[in-house]
């Protein structure tokens, strides 16, 4: 059982349990387990966070009582070299209080980590530095395809680009990890490239991603098809920086000449 840090029992009998307080505090094994719980579709938020609490702290439930649970946990005791099993009673309100610190697993907003590898294939940079623009465009295409259809083939396409090298299959944890990772990247891109990435209007028509992809390429090549190969092979950050600058210039022009 891998924990963030060992649980301890102080000399005055106070039990100190440890549990990751953010995605970043999780080990790779803990991250994979959390993504499985989130993505398998078997658990609600409270039940899933309770399972993570038990797993990450190493708590074992012995017996359920009318107001809580009899539990044991392996602890390091002050002044002792060897860990021992500690028996204690956990009340419902205590569980509810402790799983509150795991609310972050319900959102991708702070998902600033990722599984380091899938099937031995190593992940690209966390924020897609050194990823070619054409690969980024295809990531976006697969991501939007998955959101629209929930078909695993789109998540597989995304996984093969996020973990280059020949991924052949993904499980619940890996699928969820890919989608949450790319969602987080898009959120960060909206901060870095705020002129280019604008929120979609509510109630607007569905975005045609092929049309949008072609529009981005045309903007970077200025309509010169001979430049397309070079544009697609450049770093996606360089391409998005240029697109952001063009979007800013266009907005300033419209502001200066509203009737043009």
Partners of 70 in the beta sheet?
Answer: 63, 89
Mean pLDDT over the full length of the chain: 89
Give the model confidence (pLDDT) of 71-120 as tens digits.
998 887 666 667 788 888 899 899 999 999 999 999 999 999 999 999 99
The domain spans of the chain are 7-106, 117-256
Neighbours of 25 (CB within 10 A): 15
The yes-or-no verdict on residue 127 having pLDDT over 50 is: yes
Distance CA 202, CA 204 (A): 5
Query: What long-range pairs does 202-207 form, CB within 8 A, spacing at least 24?
Result: 207/144
Report pLDDT digits (tens) over 235-247.
999 999 999 999 8
C-alpha span between 156 and 161 (Å, rounded)? 9
What is the Rg, in whole angstroms, of the alpha carbon atoms belonging to the chain? 24
Question: Among positive and negative, which fits the CA dihedral 18, 24, 28, 29?
Answer: positive
């Amino acid at each position: 059982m891998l924990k963030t840090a060992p649980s301890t029992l102080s000399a005055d009998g106070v039990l100190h349990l440890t549990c990751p307080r953010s995605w970043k505090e999780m080990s790779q094994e803990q991250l994979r387990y959390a993504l499985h719980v989130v993505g398998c579709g078997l658990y609600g938020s409270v039940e899933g966070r309770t399972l993570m609490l038990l797993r990450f702290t190493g708590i074992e439930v012995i017996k359920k009582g009318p107001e809580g649970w009899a539990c044991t946990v392996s602890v390091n005791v002050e002044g002792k070299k060897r860990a021992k099993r500690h028996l204690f009673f956990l009340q419902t309100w205590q569980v509810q209080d402790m799983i509150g610190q795991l609310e972050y697993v319900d959102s991708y907003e702070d998902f600033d980590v990722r599984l380091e590898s899938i099937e031995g294939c190593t992940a690209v940079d966390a924020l897609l530095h050194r990823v070619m623009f054409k690969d980024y465009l295809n990531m976006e295409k697969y991501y939007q395809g998955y959101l629209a259809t929930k078909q695993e083939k789109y998540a597989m396409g995304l996984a093969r680009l996020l973990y280059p090298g020949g991924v052949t299959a993904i499980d619940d944890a890996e699928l969820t990890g890919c989608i949450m990772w790319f969602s987080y990247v898009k959120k960060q891109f909206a901060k870095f490239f705020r002129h280019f990435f604008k929120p979609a209007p509510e109630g607007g028509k569905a975005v045609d991603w092929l049309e949008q992809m072609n529009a981005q390429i045309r903007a970077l090549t200025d309509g010169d098809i001979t430049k397309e190969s070079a544009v697609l092979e450049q770093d996606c950050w360089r391409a998005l920086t240029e697109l952001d600058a063009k979007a800013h210039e266009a907005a300033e022009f419209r502001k200066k000449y509203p009737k043009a």
